[in-house]
């Protein structure tokens, strides 16, 4: 192609030849096919990259995908889409990390993610993360919610006991994620919940007719939100159990004294 342009414009400088190759409809078909992202950017009124800049971006994308062993996405069409969507190599790395490191490599999180966002199957998670149409903050929100759900699964809760939205028995992973709860905080909170909930639920079943019940929802309110009323419910139930134990012990002691004194 360049040879043909040189034959027609023998005095043209390298910059002039490149301009003809990029913008002259007689010569630019192959060039536009190779740098398709620039064509779309131009139509959208965005600034275009020089061929050198374009190639450097592609090389950076390739390096990221190689480091994560994701050869499926090392294709020109993805590179063009990212360039059109202003997705730089750093963001590509963040997106792959979201999909691979934080979801696919962590089984409970992966199971929670699949339950919460069933439209994204196992094989589609990274692809969904790498789609420029999906904005990174929204993806990060989904992953945080899945990590919260995964923390519950890791502590023995069942899949049908985790929910993306609020229910009568749980705050909902999405709400907690929007409140800024991190994976580490969720792991700690659900660890505490797993330790205190069985006893609290047992006491609720004993004293529930006279006292406010304490279940998983109240445990989440106490552990995640620091809700004082939830903590008071649990401590009130514990106090009743302690008082009952002391009363029973006192009665037993009195009976033993009476037996020793020959009153029976």
SS (H, E, C) the chain: CHHHHHHHCCCCCHHHHHHHHHHCCCCCHHHHHHCHHHHHHHHCCCCCCCHHHHHHHHHHHHHHHHHCCCHHHCCHHHHHHHHHCCCCHHHHHHHHHHHHHHHHCCHHHHHHHHHHCCCCCHHHHHHHHHCCCCCHHHHHHHHHHHHHHHHHHHCCCCHHHCCCCCCCCCCCHHHHHHCCCCHHHHHHHHHHHHHHHHHHHHHHHHHCCCCCCCCHHHHHHHHHHCCHHHHHHHHHHHHHHHHHHHHHHHHHHHHHHHHHCCCC
Confidence (pTM): 0.73
CA–CA gap between residue 158 and residue 174 (Å, rounded): 18
pLDDT of residue 24: 67
pLDDT of residue 259: 44
pLDDT of residue 88: 94
Residue 115, classified by CB atoms within 10 Å of its CB into exposed (0-12), middle (13-18) or buried (19+), is middle
Residue 93, classified by CB atoms within 10 Å of its CB into exposed (0-12), middle (13-18) or buried (19+), is middle
Residue 109's closest CA among 70, 154, 65? 154
Whether the CB-CB separation of 53 and 63 falls below 8 Å is answered with no
pLDDT of residue 194: 96
| CB within 8 Å of 252: residues ≥ 6 apart | none
CA–CA gap between residue 82 and residue 58 (Å, rounded): 10
| Residues in the chain with pLDDT values less than 50 | 250-259, 264
pLDDT of residue 3: 62
pLDDT of residue 130: 87
pLDDT of residue 241: 73
Spell out a b/e string for 59-80, using b for 16 or more CB atoms within 10 Å of the CB, else e: ebbeebbeebebeebeeeebbb
pLDDT of residue 1: 56
pLDDT of residue 165: 96
């Amino acid at each position: 192609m360049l040879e043909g342009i040189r034959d027609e414009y023998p005095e043209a400088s390298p910059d002039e030849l490149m301009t003809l190759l990029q913008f002259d409809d007689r010569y630019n078909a192959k060039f536009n096919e190779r740098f398709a992202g620039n064509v779309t950017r131009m139509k959208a009124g965005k600034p275009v990259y020089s061929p050198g800049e374009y190639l450097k971006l592609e090389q950076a994308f390739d390096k990221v995908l190689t480091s994560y062993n994701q050869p499926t996405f090392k294709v020109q069409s993805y590179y063009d889409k990212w360039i059109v969507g202003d997705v730089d190599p750093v963001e590509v790395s963040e997106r792959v990390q979201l999909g691979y490191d934080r979801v696919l490599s962590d089984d409970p999180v992966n199971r929670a993610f699949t339950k919460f966002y069933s439209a994204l199957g196992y094989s589609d998670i990274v692809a969904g993360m790498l789609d420029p149409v999906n904005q990174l903050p929204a993806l990060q929100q989904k992953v945080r919610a899945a990590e919260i759900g995964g923390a519950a699964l890791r502590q023995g809760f069942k899949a049908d006991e985790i929910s993306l939205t609020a229910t009568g028995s749980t705050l909902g992973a999405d709400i907690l994620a929007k409140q800024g709860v991190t994976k580490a905080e969720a792991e700690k909170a659900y660890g505490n919940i797993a330790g205190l909930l069985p006893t609290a639920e047992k006491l609720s079943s004993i004293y529930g007719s006279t006292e406010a019940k304490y279940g998983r929802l109240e445990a989440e309110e106490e552990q995640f939100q620091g809700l004082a009323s939830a903590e008071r419910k649990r401590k009130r139930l514990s106090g009743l159990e302690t008082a009952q134990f002391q009363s029973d012990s006192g009665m037993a002691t009195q009976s033993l004294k009476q037996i020793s004194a020959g009153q029976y």
